[in-house]
Amino acid sequence: MVDFPPRRKPSRKGSMADVPKDLLEQIKELERLFTVDQAKLIEVTDHFVKELEKGLSVEGGSIPMNPTWVMGYPDGYETGTFLALDMGGTNLRVCEIILPEEKGEFEIIQSKYRMPEELKTGDSEELWEYIADCLQQFIEYHHEVEDLEQMDSKLPLGFTFSFPATQDFIDHGVLQRWTKGFDISGVEGKDVAPLLEAALQKRKLPVKLSALINDTTGTLIASHYTDDTMQIGCIFGTGCNAAYMENCGSVPKIAHYNLPPDMPIAINCEYGAFDNELVVLPRTPFDVIIDNDSPRPGQQAFEKMIAGLYLGELFRLVLVDLHDNKCGLFEGQDISRLRKAYSLDASFLSFIEEDPFENLSETGELFANELSLKASKPELELCRRLAELIGTRAARLSACGVAAICKKKNIESCHVGADGSVFNKYPHFKARGAQALREILGWPKGKRDPIDIRAAEDGSGVGAALIAALTIKRVKAGNLAGIRNTEGMI
């Protein structure tokens, strides 16, 4: 998760009147590099549709298009008490969600635990031990039980594991690859469910893992629970992803299960990997550097151009290049702080874009305080324009994934539930994405947008609980497709 400062007043419009010619030329070159026009948006979207289809095929493609074994939406009348465990990039969150009898309602109690940095590159057993410890603390505190073994029944757990995982069953998930800065050895290629279950069993916790989900799938389900016009769930944060409901008959790679062709199944796209082959994405030399210097070059090509984890680094790389090779930006100053990789995050750009003052005084203070750099007014104008270009490109390319799902499913009107720090907090991200959707899908001007991306419900908490509830409901009904271990579920 990228931490953003509180939102401020709407930003002012910049003026280039006092920018010297050499800096203006650099700004024009940056505009050429980072601007994605309507034709390119349409080209990217059309290729995206083909890649979504390929991901559903037996042969597969760059986009995993993982079946989640979430077979349909909630009806709003699910009831019970559930635990949700949310393992994201920055925090571990434990929730208890109560679904009452009132349609579409829920109550939530939650606690957050910081994910120690050393765990992210540590050893597998330490990770699961830490997670089990946090769960134990939560249950003991909120249930006030001295002996956990004395609890009447096991609490169903929905585990939000927000990393690419292949699922043959809803209560199982093989990690395909770590993302979001994690690189723990001995987990990739393994089923993470037994690893968590072993840690829970060791502590004799009264918990039954009912469903392992991705935060994006949870976002889809939780959003639809409160608004039944939601047909796509998206995450635009540290990473990027989308989930939607497909028909089993349109997923050739699960044809051998012989499921009814019109039965719905949620697909977790994991489309951060879109166009790893670099057919259509408009990469700049700076995108190439980010990819080459990343832990996994050649993977997550789309994500590296739009996700919060990379926006600040793109900005930093451009400034270093302008200092070293182009126009002597920050000439004569020590830019050693700026040379540190990933020293700037998306909140740095957000702050610049929200500077309300004509003289960009807040941006100047930011550079002085964070980087020990004294920037002239023209240099600040260039930095402001660069932040706008990077933020705008991210929002416009983000719209291509949503548009591609709508085109593939022939969705002409729906709500899209979006979550993530970039969507929620980066200035103008929503408006820029909406404008790109208009350009891609060719909507007439002056009418309300038929596809509206809006804030989602809590996918990784409420969504996980709902999916656990849906799984138990299916077990009771005898619909066991994609459920491995039903023992203890009912």
| Positions marked catalytic | 162, 177, 215
Instruction: Enumerate residues 6+ apart whose C-beta is below 8 A from 303.
Output: 179, 239, 240, 272, 273, 310
Apex 391 CA angle, 245 and 54, nearest 5: 35
Q: Residue with structure tokens 């926006």?
A: 311
- Backbone Cα Rg of the chain: 23
For 18, counting Cβ atoms within 10 Å of its Cβ (0-12 exposed, 13-18 middle, 19+ buried), the class is exposed
What is the distance of C-alpha 490 from the center of its chain? Answer: 33
Measured distance CA(224)–CA(414) in Å, rounded: 11
How close are the terminal C-alpha atoms of the chain, in Å?
A: 35
Measured distance CA(290)–CA(121) in Å, rounded: 20
CB 231 within 8 A of CB 414: yes
Q: Are strands 451-455 and 414-419 parallel, antiparallel or unpaired?
A: parallel
CB 16 within 8 A of CB 24: yes
Q: Which two tokens stand for residue 281?
A: 């994405």
Measured distance CA(61)–CA(56) in Å, rounded: 8
- Listed in sequence order, the DSSP H helices in 322-360 are 346-353
Give the residues across from 33 on adjacent strands: none
CA dihedral 118, 120, 126, 127 (to 10 degrees): 140
Measured distance CA(148)–CA(408) in Å, rounded: 49
Secondary structure E strands in 77-206? 80-87, 91-99, 107-114, 155-161, 165-166, 174-175
Q: Find the length of the chain.
A: 490
Instruction: Enumerate residues 6+ apart whose C-beta is below 8 A from 142.
Output: 96, 109
Measured distance CA(219)–CA(230) in Å, rounded: 10
CB 111 within 8 A of CB 93: yes
Element of type H or E holding 268: strand 264-268
Q: Are strands 174-175 and 165-166 parallel, antiparallel or unpaired?
A: antiparallel
What is the distance of C-alpha 414 from the center of its chain? Answer: 20
Measured distance CA(23)–CA(152) in Å, rounded: 70
Backbone angles phi, psi at 301, to 5 degrees: -60, -45
